[in-house]
Amino acid sequence: MEDQRQSQLPEGIWMLDASGKRLRQLSDDELARAPNVRDDTTSPDYPSSETIAEYLSSLSPSQQGICDAMRGMGWPDPAIHNLLTLVENTQNHLCAQLRMQGVDETEIQSLDEICNQDMPDLSHLRDPSAEARQRDFQLQLYLLDDVTRRRRVMLGKE
């Protein structure tokens, strides 16, 4: 099983399919057709406060623990939403990668539960009043640590 989890996906750009359970590789044709309009005036689309509130009202117990800890440190809901959706998307991608490798659903669910139990310490995210770039940097460091931990658990590697 460990060897099975060690196998790599072929190179390319992979994304979750419409079901959110499997990965699919984008073809060169799809990439060529994709709009590639990015310039200095392009800005990201941020979710509405209603979307954020709805998302934060339906969290899993492990996500709720992160949310409560970050709120306790004064972090704003949009930053919490950003962090949790990035972690959730990473976890969905790892589960889909295991499905592609033929790992059975019971083991995937077990690994998913392990990932959600051992959340890294959030104490280094204590300064929500920091400049936006510093806050973003702190969140990126947390995400790097958490994604590395999840990859270790799910795929048996760094």
Cα–Cα distance measured from residue 98 to residue 5, given in angstroms and rounded to the nearest whole number: 7
pLDDT tens for 84-132 read 998 888 888 888 888 888 899 999 999 888 888 867 677 766 665 667 7
Average pLDDT estimate for 74-91: 89
Q: Is residue 130 a part of any domain in this protein?
A: yes
Which has the higher per-residue pLDDT, 6 or 14?
Answer: 14
Look at the chain and count its residues: 158
Pairing between strand 23-25 and 14-16?
antiparallel
Q: Is residue 40 a part of any domain in this protein?
A: no
- Cross-strand partners of 64: none
Q: Rounded to two decimals, what is the model's pTM?
A: 0.71
Which is nearest to 7 in space by CA: 96, 94, 92, 101?
Answer: 101
CA angle 19/60/47 to nearest 5° reads 65
Q: Is residue 132 a part of any domain in this protein?
A: yes
Q: Is residue 11 a part of any domain in this protein?
A: yes
Q: How many domains does the chain have?
A: 1
Q: Is residue 45 a part of any domain in this protein?
A: no
Q: Is residue 79 a part of any domain in this protein?
A: yes
Q: Is residue 151 a part of any domain in this protein?
A: yes
Which has the higher per-residue pLDDT, 59 or 6?
Answer: 59
Q: Is residue 43 a part of any domain in this protein?
A: no
pLDDT tens for 125-155 read 666 566 777 777 877 888 888 888 888 888 8
Where on the phi/psi map is residue 14: left (φ > 0), alpha (ψ -120 to 50), or beta? beta
Range of the domain at 97: 2-35+50-155
pLDDT tens for 49-59 read 999 999 999 99
pLDDT at 53: 95
